Amino acid sequence: MIEKDPSIRVRFAPSPTGMLHIGGARTAIYNWAFARTMGGTFVLRIEDTDQVRSTEENTQIILRAMRWLGLDWDEGPEAGGSCGPYFQTERTETYQAALDRLKESGAAYPCFCSKEELDAKRAQAEASEGGYAGYDGTCRHLSADEARSRIEAGEPHVWRLAVPEGHGPIEFDDAVYGHMSFPAEAMDDMIIQRTDGTFTYNFAVVCDDANMGITHVIRGDDHLSNTPRQMLIYEACGFDAPTFAHLPMILGSDGHKLSKRHGATSVEEYRDRGYLPAAMVNFLALLGWSLDGDTTIIPEDVLCRSFELARINRKDSVFDEKKLDWMNGVYIREMDADAWTLAATPWLAQAAIDGAAVSPGAQVVPTPTQEEQQAAAQEARVPGAAVDAQAWQRALADVSDRPGFYRAMYPLVAERLARLDEIPAKLAYLFWGPNVALDQKSVDKVLLKDAEQAASALAICREVLAGLEGDQDPDAAMQACRSAGEEAGIKAKQLLQPLRVAVAGNMVSPPLFESIQLIGIPDTLARIDGTCAAVLA
């Protein structure tokens, strides 16, 4: 049992310059799971200081992705809280107040070096043997009078942090990487306020973390090089530094840092490909953390009482999409039919639309090659994207109007789905009505190899099915067909495979008699008739 500590406060601090990516989502999950495990507070802060690239739309996308994943925040946008506002652009006064204190204590100084001067010095230093070692401190030694008069004269300037001379190594204990030490000489006097009055990332982040009482900063290790600089700011401001936990990288299957090159990287792309939020959270949690080294299925409630920083790995982890598919399949199988219907609604609607598009009657369609199948599977399919809006709305409404009908599809495919976006291809046949699209290979193999036998098998099944009264139980219907087949000396397989092809179009399909129950006897008979007319006549 992990001892709780309600004083713990963590934050997730995305910059709304793009969508919520896999790496960001994992950072959010770790902060959230840690806060929940400890009984602490999870803060969401939007770091929108990059005014060129930050957009309100991106903020909304991030909030939506967080909500979809189920990562509820205790303080932040929409939730409010006593440490607000939770957008950096609304916190400028707090940064100014901190800078004013640094000015008073002499820990910050104005720098009038122009960009051209700095660029020239940099180029010169880079060409020399020692290389560029950061700002050379020209303005650090200006007299207070000179600095004041140049400011009063309106000369453009930035404010820099004066790194104390003779400062020993900057040290901290990272909860993941252990003891860290950086030479202070390597840190030049960083800019904290720019010429236009805006504040730099390192300064704003430290002020916010301190003013929001953040006790643990859990973030990607791409920020590790910022941390010693931030430590200097904590010191200069007289703030207590939090505990840092830097998270190892997430790599693609080729061993390179996960990026667009590897395919989908934003959370919502995964949503649109039919991954369940619970599976995503479980999977991402394991990219760098483990419960006990073995357990792979870790539901949210377990995660939220077991997340310890001590169990975060130092080693980079590999994003294995096959494992994600497997895990998603496990979560799909463990859902109940109602939850599945709700989560699968867009794809069920898509299945209905695709199914209704099959041409009247029966026709033989070419069997897709393996490459075509793979291409279709890889193409992230956003349900409804290419359909007309009215048809789409009608299809969605049908799912909510006939929940029982759609719910009954769950046992047909629960064992066979890795992702919800496989639903249209797997279930469209239920929506063909009296029509049928016959897979070429199945027709050749099952119907035409011994056409005479297939025709009599279909005739036998047709007769039995036509004689069924009302809503027959699938097992009873199957038994009735089998007995009739036996009487005629046809084995079960020879009897039922033709029926499968005639009804579902393919020799591989979800359970046949359960399907027939959903399709209904009249449409089933029409499909058998259509198939016979098209290929056995």
In the complex, the residues that contact ligand GLU under the rule CB under 6 A are 13-15, 47, 205, 219, 223
Q: Determine how many CB atoms are found less than 10 A away from the CB of residue 452.
A: 8
Q: Which is nearer to ligand GLU, 14 or 355 (CB)?
A: 14
Question: CB 168 → ligand GLU: shortest distance, Å?
Answer: 24
Question: CB 8 → ligand GLU: shortest distance, Å?
Answer: 16
**Cα separations in angstroms, 109 against 97, 139, 510:** 15, 8, 73
Tokens of 293: 């080294």
Q: Which is nearer to ligand GLU, 204 or 327 (CB)?
A: 204
Q: Which is nearer to ligand GLU, 13 or 447 (CB)?
A: 13
**Cα separations in angstroms, 206 against 137, 180, 202, 209, 252:** 23, 19, 6, 5, 32
419 sits in which H/E element: none
Among the listed residues 291, 286, 306, 233, the one whose alpha carbon sits nearest the alpha carbon of residue 34: 306
| CA separation for the pair 302, 282 (Å, rounded) | 10
| CA separation for the pair 94, 159 (Å, rounded) | 16
Among the listed residues 327, 340, 234, the one whose alpha carbon sits nearest the alpha carbon of residue 285: 327
**Cα separations in angstroms, 6 against 37, 39, 70, 197, 433:** 10, 5, 21, 37, 59
Q: Which is nearer to ligand GLU, 13 or 495 (CB)?
A: 13
3-class DSSP state of 364:
strand
Q: Determine how many CB atoms are found less than 10 A away from the CB of residue 33.
A: 26
Question: CB 245 → ligand GLU: shortest distance, Å?
Answer: 11
Q: Which is nearer to ligand GLU, 231 or 499 (CB)?
A: 231
Q: C-alpha dihedral over 47, 290, 288, 415, to 10 degrees?
A: -90
Q: Classify residue 139 by its DSSP letter.
A: G
Q: Classify residue 254 by its DSSP letter.
A: T
Q: Which is nearer to ligand GLU, 49 or 524 (CB)?
A: 49
Q: Which is nearer to ligand GLU, 230 or 341 (CB)?
A: 230
Question: CB 223 → ligand GLU: shortest distance, Å?
Answer: 5
| CA separation for the pair 368, 246 (Å, rounded) | 47
Q: Which is nearer to ligand GLU, 15 or 265 (CB)?
A: 15
Question: CB 259 → ligand GLU: shortest distance, Å?
Answer: 15
Q: Determine how many CB atoms are found less than 10 A away from the CB of residue 433.
A: 16
C-alpha Rg value of the chain to the nearest Å: 32
Q: Which is nearer to ligand GLU, 289 or 347 (CB)?
A: 289
Q: Which is nearer to ligand GLU, 48 or 300 (CB)?
A: 48
Question: CB 14 → ligand GLU: shortest distance, Å?
Answer: 5
Question: CB 29 → ligand GLU: shortest distance, Å?
Answer: 14
Q: Which is nearer to ligand GLU, 217 or 502 (CB)?
A: 217
Q: Which is nearer to ligand GLU, 237 or 461 (CB)?
A: 237
| CA separation for the pair 22, 475 (Å, rounded) | 45
Question: CB 392 → ligand GLU: shortest distance, Å?
Answer: 35
Question: CB 219 → ligand GLU: shortest distance, Å?
Answer: 4
Question: CB 57 → ligand GLU: shortest distance, Å?
Answer: 17
427 sits in which H/E element: helix 423-427
- 3-state helix/strand/coil string of 68-86: HHCCCCCEECCCECCCCCC
Question: CB 242 → ligand GLU: shortest distance, Å?
Answer: 10
| CA separation for the pair 499, 456 (Å, rounded) | 11
Question: CB 247 → ligand GLU: shortest distance, Å?
Answer: 10
